Structure 1
Amino acid sequence: MDQIDICLLKLLQENARMTISELSKQLSLSRPSITERLNRLQEQGIIDGFSARICPKKIGRDVVVYIQLSEIKILSYIDFEEWIKNDPDIVECHRLTGAVSYLLKAAVTGMDHLSSLIDRLTPYGNVNTSIVLSSPVSFRCITPHSALQE
């Protein structure tokens, strides 16, 4: 990965809807060159996909919460992970090392909705919630570590 690839990744993370023509102008490369680089980055799994970032509050999910699940009471992590993948309130799920087994991020409509989610999670382990008050950094572009040192 060279500096142009890193710039391409930054541009796409800032605006994944940029056209090949716009990327071509920004990076002073031909459209076929940009297309080739994009294809290579996707084939290598560096670009994992393209999506839109949605503001939870704008779609009625006024409460964003992080949930720590510890002292797991399940027989199979695989079964739990399959169950959690199908819960529409969970927007992220991470299996962790240490005292906390899972860190979940959820977006719910209010306290009643949160209470229902907690009730659904309680059979699986101890639940500890933290409600998000604000997000001074809700998204940040990431690049290879070497790019940060230059």
Structure 2
Amino acid sequence: MANQTLDDTDLQILQCLIDNSLRSHKEIGQLVHLSGQAVGARVRRLHDLGVIDGYTLRWNPDKIGQTVHAFVTVFMKSNTAHTAFLSFARSRPEIIEVHRVSGEGCYWMRVRLSGGGALNALLDEVLAYGNYKLSLSIEMVK
């Protein structure tokens, strides 16, 4: 287990990167009392261990016109529809996430679109694979 090879300093470095992944190794080093080179070596090790598997960017989709944020539960119409549906979902940039789920539905999708018309068009395409249930996000609270 990777956590067994991590010490408190590794966890502090990880938290610094979670808080702001643009921080330099030198800046992080000042916070955790290491040199920038030592922080760089630890960050590379965290990558090698799979603890860090990438970096991301927080952005404001509303500022570029993606004002509709929706969650779609998809119910496949047949067992043979899964492969085609996944190919469809992977090809669509407005589909931000797709999760295979247990319980209600087969997949949960998180989508970002420019408006009701774009959402309607996407949902019409989903009907080729099965039915859906739609929930619109009113406000992101965390």
TM-score of the alignment, normalized to the shorter chain, above 0.5: yes
Paired residue total:
137
Partner SS for 1:123? coil
Q: Distance in 2 between matches of 1:10 and 1:72?
A: 43
Aligned CA RMSD, in angstroms, stands at 1.4
Q: Distance in 1 between matches of 2:56 and 2:136?
A: 25
Alignment of 1:1-150 (within 5 A): 1-73=6-78, 75=80, 77-137=82-142
Deviation at 1:112, TM superposition (A): 0.4
Query: TM-score when scaled to structure 2?
Result: 0.89
- Higher relative contact order structure (alpha carbons within 8 Å, sequence separation ≥ 6): 1
Deviation at 1:76, TM superposition (A): 5.1
Q: How many percent identity over aligned positions?
A: 27
Residue ranges of structure 2 left out of the alignment (5+ in a row): 1-5
Query: TM-score when scaled to structure 1?
Result: 0.85
Deviation at 1:44, TM superposition (A): 1.4
Letter in 1 for 2:28: L
Runs of 4+ in 1 over 6 A off after TM superposition: none
Deviation at 1:74, TM superposition (A): 5.3
